[in-house]
Each structure stands twice: as structure tokens, then as C-alpha cells.
């Protein structure tokens, strides 16, 4: 019983001694870290507001703001460790070894990070542009250090790892797209009247852009019809809606003006022997 009491007293004395010797240092270190978080947040927010005055992509602003936060907090972390009397050189060496192991274990994540930096600074596409890549297409919604998110007209989203984008063939439509509509008319049609009808349809549709202007031309002299190509430009958001509206309007206008759109025809002759 006396042994256990003396052991408890010894533990209490040790704890009190450690608290007296290291308590103030630990308290100061915690206060330094709290101050570091607050200062890093203030600097990050200030830098983000300042960068809005410069023409930069949103991912670049976020990257610079986060980098400023990390650097500021790292400075306060070093101060806190020095206050605790931690030897930094062995710690840095240990962090380096651990970092090498983590890098080997997270090669895919790091490759996404490097690819994200390449996309952010090379700018092969920007937020708000319509792109097609690796079998997917859509409007660029967000670009982060690790992934790029595309949105579709059906409101679904496609998240692509950045390493799948860099090095692939990219089709960047920008913010406008060109419709490709083909309509066939009979060979005895007055082509001037047909072109005028198409021009009227395009001019009356508010989704069709005036600049660049639409292209209307004869594409092919087919077996049973003369194919007319209708290629107006519309914004990416109006692409699908404009496609349906123009097809419907061309059909109704041609019917109203008596312009024939023939079915495929074949002439068969029976020869007697």
C-alpha cells in the first residue's frame, strides 16, 4: 500500500515538474499556431481579393491563395517548434524520408496534381468553354488541381482526372457551336427560293448568332434530292434547343411555300428477253 502511494506521489511530482518546465512553452506554441491560422486566413483572403483585380483564371487565384495560406502557416509552425526546443534539422530529414514514401504511394494523385498545374497555367481550355476529350464532352464547370468537371445539357456531370486530359487530343469549341443541318429538296426546286426560305428561318430565330454569320450552301447532288447544308452559329447553351427549332421551322416553311423534300426514290425497269 505504501509502495503504491509513493508511486502515485512520484507520478504527480513528475507531472507537476513537466508542467512547470514545458507548460508555458506548450501554451505559447498553441497560441502561436492559433495566431498562425488567423494570420494565414487573413493573408489568403486579402490576396484572393487583390487577385480579382488581375485577369487570372479562377483556379490560378485559388492556387495562389492556398499557397499563401500554407506558407504563412508553415512559418508560424516553425516558430512554434522552435519555442518547444525541437531540433528542426532531424525533423526536416525525417519529413523528407516520409515524403519520399508518400510520393511513391500516391503516384496517381501527384500525376493529377502536376497535370492540374499544367492545365491551369497552359490554359488549353477555360471555365465556361465547351470541350470534347477522352470520349467525353461538356461545358467546363470547374478546374481544380486534381480534376476537371464537365456539365451536360441533361444537368449531369462528368469528373475527369487531370492526368487523363494532359497529352490527349482536345477539341475546344469555346463558347459557341456550329449546327450542321442537312435538308434535301427536289431537283426541280428553285434554289434561290429555297435559300431565301432558309435565310428567313435563320434570321427569325433569336438564338442564331449574327456574327459569325450562318453558312447555307449546296452540299451534294444526291440520287433523289439536292442536299442543302444549313450551318448557323449558336451559343453552347442554345445548341440542342436551336437544333430542334430550326429543323421544325425549315420543315414548316418549306411546306408552306410548296418546296418539295422528296423521299429516296429508285427507278426499276423490267426488260423482256
> Average pLDDT of each block of 10 consecutive residues along the chain (273 residues)?
58 60 71 84 82 68 78 80 67 56 55 81 86 88 88 87 87 91 92 94 94 91 90 91 94 93 78 71
Alpha-carbon gap, residue 273 to 263, rounded angstroms: 32
Helix (H, G, I), strand (E, B) or coil at 225: coil
- Cell numbers for 34, please give them: 492559433
Q: Is the dihedral of CA 188, 192, 198, 204 positive or negative?
A: negative
Q: Which domains does the chain have, with CATH numbers?
A: 2-86 (1.10.287), 124-174 (2.30.30.60), 176-256 (3.30.70.100)
β-pair type (226-231, 233-235): unpaired
> What is the pLDDT, as a whole number, of residue 105?
45
Check: CB of residue 119 under 8 Å from CB of residue 143. Answer: yes
> What is the pLDDT, as a whole number, of residue 4?
61
Check: CB of residue 120 under 8 Å from CB of residue 60. Answer: yes
Alpha-carbon gap, residue 34 to 48, rounded angstroms: 21
Alpha-carbon gap, residue 88 to 59, rounded angstroms: 33
- Cell numbers for 120, please give them: 491551369
Helix (H, G, I), strand (E, B) or coil at 152: coil
Among left, alpha and beta (phi > 0; psi -120 to 50; other), residue 95 is alpha
Phi, psi of 150 (to 5 degrees): -110, 145
Omega of the bond leading into 99 within 30 degrees of 0 (cis): no
Amino acid at each position: 500500500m505504501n509502495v503504491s502511494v509513493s508511486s502515485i506521489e512520484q507520478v504527480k511530482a513528475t507531472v507537476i515538474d513537466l508542467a512547470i518546465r514545458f507548460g508555458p512553452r506548450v501554451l505559447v506554441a498553441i497560441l502561436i499556431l492559433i495566431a498562425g491560422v488567423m494570420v494565414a486566413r487573413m493573408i489568403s483572403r486579402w490576396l484572393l481579393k487583390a487577385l480579382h483585380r488581375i485577369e487570372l483564371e479562377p483556379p490560378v487565384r485559388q492556387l495562389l491563395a492556398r499557397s499563401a495560406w500554407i506558407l504563412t502557416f508553415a512559418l508560424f509552425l516553425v516558430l512554434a517548434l522552435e519555442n518547444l526546443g525541437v531540433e528542426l534539422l532531424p525533423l526536416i530529414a525525417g519529413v523528407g524520408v516520409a515524403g519520399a514514401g508518400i510520393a511513391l504511394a500516391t503516384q496517381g494523385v501527384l500525376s493529377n496534381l502536376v497535370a492540374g498545374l499544367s492545365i491551369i497555367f497552359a490554359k488549353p481550355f477555360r471555365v465556361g468553354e465547351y470541350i470534347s476529350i477522352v470520349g467525353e464532352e461538356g461545358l467546363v464547370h470547374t478546374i481544380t488541381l486534381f480534376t476537371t468537371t464537365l456539365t451536360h445539357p441533361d444537368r449531369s456531370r462528368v469528373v475527369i482526372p487531370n492526368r487523363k486530359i494532359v497529352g490527349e487530343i482536345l477539341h475546344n469549341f469555346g463558347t459557341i457551336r456550329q449546327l450542321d443541318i442537312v435538308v434535301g429538296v427536289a431537283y426541280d426546286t428553285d434554289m434561290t427560293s429555297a435559300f431565301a426560305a432558309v435565310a428567313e428561318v435563320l434570321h427569325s430565330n433569336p438564338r442564331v448568332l449574327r456574327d459569325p454569320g450562318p453558312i447555307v450552301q449546296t452540299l451534294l447532288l444526291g440520287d433523289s434530292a439536292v442536299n442543302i447544308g444549313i450551318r448557323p452559329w449558336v451559343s453552347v447553351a442554345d445548341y440542342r434547343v436551336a437544333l430542334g427549332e430550326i429543323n421544325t421551322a425549315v420543315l414548316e416553311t418549306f411546306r408552306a411555300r410548296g418546296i418539295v423534300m422528296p423521299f429516296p426514290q429508285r427507278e426499276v425497269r423490267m426488260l423482256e428477253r
